[in-house]
Structure 1
Amino acid sequence: MKSRSTFSVLFWINTSRTSLEQSKLYARITLNGKRVNLSLKHEIPANDWDKKRSKVKGRTPEAQEINEYIQHVRAELYSSYRELMKADAEVTAEAVKAHFLGEEEDQKSLQDLFDYHNLHHNHNLSAATMSHYRTTQNYLLEYIYKINGKEDIHLNKLDFNFVTGFETFLRTYHPKHYHGTMSNNGAMKHLQRFRKMIRIALNLGWISNNPLKGYKIKMEKKEREFLTAPELASIENYATSVERLEIVKDLFVFSCYTGLSYCDLIVLNNSHLATIDDKKWILTKRAKTDTAVRLPLLKAPVDILEKYRDHPRRGEDNLLPRLSNQKLNSYLKELADKCKINKHLTFHMARHTFATTVTLTNGVPIETVSKILGHTRLATTQIYARVLDQKISQDMELLQRKLDIEH
């Protein structure tokens, strides 16, 4: 059976520090056995105090005024207690006293933190990254509602148990747009974003304890998949009368030969297209990092741009037809089946394919690839820079020749 908190208010005078038989009036706030005294800034004659009834004796105007004040204070203290309980705040005798005096700390909530983050960090993050943060925030609010039926929670209520419970919630969650539960790395990404927002709360002094202290983000290392040259060729050569598959194929191939991500490719318009030294160039910025990208186009993407120059689905100023990322990835699975590619084909795999099969395997320096991809650090490119079996074989053959010459 759930125990109820015990709250009481007692009024008393301090007779141990009387001055000219005048005693100071106090209220004693008691909650769950813990108490705190509140000075009411009034002095009354010690002989006029009715200890049993906690009031001043008599019916003089002075006595009535103090007794009315006592009743007012009692009502206000009980009101403070009820408000703290209703707000799901941390309720202690000290908190009730602080609330009554108007000195309580402004107890910030998780929604307050979201609002601050979205307002003050919006200019530092790309639209795509902000969208990811809002998704994390929505998951946190769903979790809060699931565990206590409320739409928000005070930051000082967050603890390690909350964090591990949120992880479990994510791992068992079934996103509407996805079949199955969330992957480990998907859940960890949400916890990384949660941790970054908690650091903001710590820096602002909204909380003193880090609920994620001791919690470890455990990312699983996964091989980044890409298409081999024969697999890429099978998609390029795939012929279909189904327009949506034709568009998806062309958008994917365009990305394979430019390295542009979905969010950068889908917004390309005439202002991003330039002619330099009689060659077509794409001049744009990466939405994710705001890094400039200057890219001379290979023949395949130039042919695709020409193909859709007057296409009705291209839009007034767009260079290519527009499809949502969700639909693109859905149709790519169908395209993979048609081309007999036994891989989980996603649009981002085109970017991996550009970094490996199209550029690095063909001897393009990693520094050049990094610049084309719009990476701010070479180390990021090295993640994409997968050395293919073909390249390993070639390198080992060169090594063997050198060894043969030496011997």
Structure 2
Amino acid sequence: MKKNTFKILYHIRGNYTNKDGKCPITVRIAVNGEYARINSTLAVEPELWDVKAGKAIGRSAKVLEINKRLEDMRVVLKEHYYDILNRHGYVTAEMVKNAFTGVTAKEESLVPLYLQHLEDTKKLVGLSKADPTYRKYERMYRRVVEFMKKKYNITDIPLREIKTSFITDLEFFLRTEYKYSQNTTYKCMKFFKQVINKGIRAGLIFVDPFNGYKISCERVDRGYLTEDELSKMMAKEFASARLEQVRDVFIFACFTFVALTNV
């Protein structure tokens, strides 16, 4: 798992001074190369600022107070960083900023959305979905949960944090961990895309992580059914009239083809 990098940097807005001739001090949070900026309530004369050290210069009471407050801010930001990392297993600069400034926007994550998708699918079993299909959806859910744990050491992920790299890493996991074939992987990724589409329709995902991602299904010669296999299919009782109708059309097509080839 890639190690997180976390930095807190202080700067002054050298191109702006207030009526007292002081420059505002801003905080730059860096997590894994991504940045977020916070405007502090502190200001300092530009000649008293050490750009390299990121603090005020001198031993005056005013300078000591500024540096103390900057250090206090650093401590609080670190506490937020580690708290978020421990709770979610995943942290961004924006998440640290929001925690520090008190922004608590509702954050939807993948697992609850996926479980809701499974619940909705289960209600369709016997209507427009067959039970084996539902079990495949459920199996893919377990694969995704396992993937997140093994790849990122997390149990869930905010929907807005799912990028194309998550999709490609998931595909690689299925191919290497379970040795899935091209077509099995294709079907599994289609199952997962249904969950992502559900999030997009609900307004929970604004950028489709499947954009730019491509996977194709290979054409396979499936051979033909034997007379015994056709007989078993004809005798099979299905859970819904719709599936029986599909079976009947398929059987009709099979016998029609046989009749045509014997003309």
Please give the range of the TM-score, normalised by the shorter of the 2 chains.
Answer: 0.5 to 0.7
CA contact (8 A) 2:137 2:191 kept: yes
- The one of 184, 187, 204 aligned to 1:186: 184
AA in 2 matched with 1:373: E
Q: Determine if the alignment matches structure 1 residue 91 to structure 2 residue 92.
A: yes
AA in 2 matched with 1:218: C
- The one of 250, 253, 258 aligned to 1:386: 253
Alignment of 1:236-275 (within 5 A): 256-257=234-235, 259-261=236-238, 264=239
* 1:371-395: CA deviation from partner (whole Å, max 9, x where unpaired): 78144xxxx864454334642255x
Secondary structure of 2:118's partner?
helix
Counterparts in 2 of 1:36 and 1:186: CA distance versus 1, 3 Å: closer
Counterparts in 2 of 1:71 and 1:45: CA distance versus 1, 3 Å: closer
Structure 2 Cα separation of the partners of residues 221 and 385 of structure 1: 23
Alignment of 1:345-360 (within 5 A): none
Alignment of 1:2-401 (within 5 A): 5=5, 7-10=7-10, 16-19=16-19, 21=20, 23=22, 25-31=24-30, 37-41=37-41, 51=49, 54=56, 57-58=60-61, 70-86=70-86, 87-89=88-90, 91-92=92-93, 94-103=94-103, 108-119=108-119, 122-125=122-125, 128=131, 129-172=133-176, 182=180, 184-213=182-211, 214-218=213-217, 220-221=219-220, 223=222, 225-228=224-227, 232=231, 256-257=234-235, 259-261=236-238, 264=239, 286=240, 293=241, 373-375=244-246, 382-388=249-255, 390-393=258-261, 396=263
AA in 2 matched with 1:200: K
| TM, length-normalised to structure 1 | 0.47
Which residue matches 1:338? none
CA contact (8 A) 2:193 2:210 kept: yes
Secondary structure of 2:18's partner?
strand
- Number of positions where the alignment pairs a residue of Structure 1 with one of Structure 2: 248
Q: CA deviation at 1:80?
A: 3.0
Percent identical among aligned pairs is: 16
Higher relative contact order (CA 8 A, sep 6+): 2
AA in 2 matched with 1:196: Q
Structure 2 Cα separation of the partners of residues 373 and 231 of structure 1: 14
Q: CA deviation at 1:29?
A: 1.6
RMSD: 4.4
CA contact (8 A) 1:192 1:217 kept: no
Structure 1: give runs of 5+ residues left out of the alignment.
Answer: 175-180, 233-251, 265-285, 287-292, 294-370, 397-407
CA contact (8 A) 1:160 1:211 kept: yes
Counterparts in 2 of 1:27 and 1:203: CA distance versus 1, 3 Å: same
Counterparts in 2 of 1:6 and 1:125: CA distance versus 1, 3 Å: same
Structure 2 Cα separation of the partners of residues 196 and 24 of structure 1: 51
| TM, length-normalised to structure 2 | 0.67
Counterparts in 2 of 1:120 and 1:386: CA distance versus 1, 3 Å: closer
CA contact (8 A) 1:109 1:155 kept: yes
